[in-house]
Amino acid sequence: MRLARIDAFFGADAELVLLRGTEASGAIFPIPRGGATLGRAEGTIRLPADETLGARCAAFEYCDHLLFVRDLGSPSGVFVRIHSQVVLEPGQCFALGDHLLRHGGLVHPPAQPDPRYGAPLPGQGPFLRLETVLLGGGTGRVWVLPFPVRIGRRQGEVHLPDRFVSARHCALYRDGERVLLEDLGSSNGTYLRIPPDHPWPLRRGDTLRLGRNIFRVQ
């Protein structure tokens, strides 16, 4: 975690600047010292035009001169842009462009494949099960791939036709039984969903994704 003092990074109260979303780009939403909540229908910051946003989605709180964001358990979640390799837990989601993907777990080939069903998995494994998450939470396309898994608009094992996805966007690596997610210098970033009700520290310049909205902290 990166802990940054408000005095050093913000000066006074922090604020969210909308980079892209359902309101006009550049809109500013202050976060007063008493904190703020954000949602579609409830909270001090409301974005009613975003149907993908939970009614009450995120809370922003100051503690010991630090600013934190907390997912209030909304189905839409809270996503933060990553700047280094992070551990991606089984079932955890990440976003790039307008796509939401999920770590579906590691797939270990059976010691004795049954030739009656399907084709054997190539190589030794384990393999990554990667899932597309559809609007409403359902599972869309599923890939089962050997590591590393590179994702991009034109390059890699997974191609996503999305103008907000870079040609070479992000990659997933295996470290034992762990999966690591890394952004490959993409233009629009890779976003990790933070665990619900887990305060996440923020600093000036961090980027958040809430529903269809992308904010910069300043």
User: Can you give the pLDDT at residue 65?
Assistant: 81
Q: Which two tokens stand for residue 187?
A: 């233009």
Cβ atoms of 70 and 58 closer than 8 Å: yes
pLDDT band per the 50, 70, 90 thresholds, residue 10: very low
| Predicted local confidence at residue 115, as pLDDT | 67
**Cβ atoms of residues 80 and 216 within 8 Å:** no
148 token code pair: 């590393």
pLDDT of residue 11: 47
Rounded to an integer, what distance in angstroms lies between the CA atom of residue 71 and that of residue 13?
20
Average pLDDT, the chain: 90
Residue type, 34: G
Per-residue pLDDT at 120: 64
194 pLDDT band, cuts 50/70/90, is very high
**Per-residue pLDDT at 7 exceeds 70:** no
Contact 62, 6 (CB under 8 A): yes
Structure tokens of 48? Answer: 């009613």
Give the pLDDT of residue 198. Answer: 87
39 near 49, Cβ under 8 Å? no
pLDDT at 122: 66
Closest among 80, 103, 71, 50 to 189, alpha carbons compared: 80
Buried b (16+ CB within 10 A) or exposed e, 166-203: bebbbbbbbeeeebbbbbbebebbbbbbbeeeebbebb
d(CA 150, CA 136): 26
- As a whole-number percent, the residues of the chain with pLDDT over 70 amount to 90
**Overall size of the chain counted in residues:** 218
**Domains observed in the chain:** 6-76+194-217 (2.60.200.20), 80-110+122-191 (2.60.200)
What CA–CA distances, in Å, run from 217 to 29, 126, 160, 206? Answer: 10, 39, 28, 5
User: Is residue 9 within a helix (H) or strand (E), and if so which, with residue range?
Assistant: helix 6-9
Q: Using a pLDDT cut of 90, give the percent of the chain over it.
A: 77
pLDDT one-digit tens code per residue, 68-114 = 999 999 888 999 999 999 999 999 999 999 999 999 999 988 777 66
Q: How confident is the model at residue 64 (pLDDT cuts 50, 70, 90)?
A: confident
pLDDT tens, 135-190?
A: 888 899 999 999 999 999 999 999 999 999 999 999 999 999 999 999 999 999 99
What is the C-alpha separation between 16 and 84, in angstroms, rounded? 23
Tokens of 111: 């010691």
Residue 13 — pLDDT band, cuts 50, 70, 90? confident
Give the pLDDT confidence score for residue 9 in this predicted structure.
46
The burial class, CB within 10 Å (0-12 / 13-18 / 19+), for 83 is: middle
**36-39 vs 45-46, strand pairing mode:** parallel
